[in-house]
């Protein structure tokens, strides 16, 4: 049995094996999709992440800064980032925020009050 709701096909699970046999005999199956149609394409090659896609992924996964850098590093190692995509900007932004509060003289680093 198939319910039609707003053009979405929802298949109701059969209650017994006999229902499965009768469904397949009635022809209540979804039409076969023709893969040769022009609006159907399969790209089997890798699809690298752009900067905006990486930012969205980090946000959607709720990753910490370290997690975002770890993910970016792994994606870069697998050549899955588009050229120019940066994943370490999280750390650089954090560094900029705190470097104004510190000063370095030789090997000594101290906080500026």
CB atoms within 10 A of CB 52: 9
Q: Residue 91 gets which letter from DSSP?
A: H
| Domain contains 14 | no
Q: How many domains does the chain have?
A: 1
Reduce the DSSP state of residue 99 to 3 states and report it.
helix
Range of the domain at 57: 51-111
CA–CA gap between residue 92 and residue 109 (Å, rounded): 18
| Domain contains 28 | no
Q: Residue 62 gets which letter from DSSP?
A: T
Cα–Cα distances (Å) from 94 to 74, 89, 98, in that order, read 21, 8, 7
| Domain contains 76 | yes
| Domain contains 10 | no
* Nearest one of 66, 42, 71 to 56, comparing CA atoms: 71
pLDDT (mean) for 54-62 = 91
| Tokens encoding 44 | 């089997």
Reduce the DSSP state of residue 92 to 3 states and report it.
helix
* Confidence label for 15 from pLDDT (cuts 50, 70 and 90): confident
| Domain contains 78 | yes
| Domain contains 8 | no
The overall pTM is greater than 0.85: no
Q: Which residues pair with 8 in a beta bridge?
A: 5
Longest dimension (CA), the chain: 84
| Domain contains 79 | yes
pLDDT > 90: percent of the chain: 22
């Amino acid at each position: 049995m198939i319910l039609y709701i707003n053009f979405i096909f929802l298949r109701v699970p059969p209650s017994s094996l006999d229902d499965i046999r009768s469904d397949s005999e009635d022809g209540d199956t979804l039409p076969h999709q023709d893969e040769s149609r022009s609006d159907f394409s399969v790209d089997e090659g890798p699809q690298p992440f752009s900067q905006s896609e990486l930012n969205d992924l980090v946000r959607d996964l709720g990753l910490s800064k370290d997690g975002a850098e770890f993910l970016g590093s792994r994606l870069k190692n697998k050549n899955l980032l588009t050229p120019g995509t940066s994943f370490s900007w999280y750390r650089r932004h954090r560094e900029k925020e705190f470097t104004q509060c510190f000063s370095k003289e030789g090997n000594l680093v101290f906080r500026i009050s």
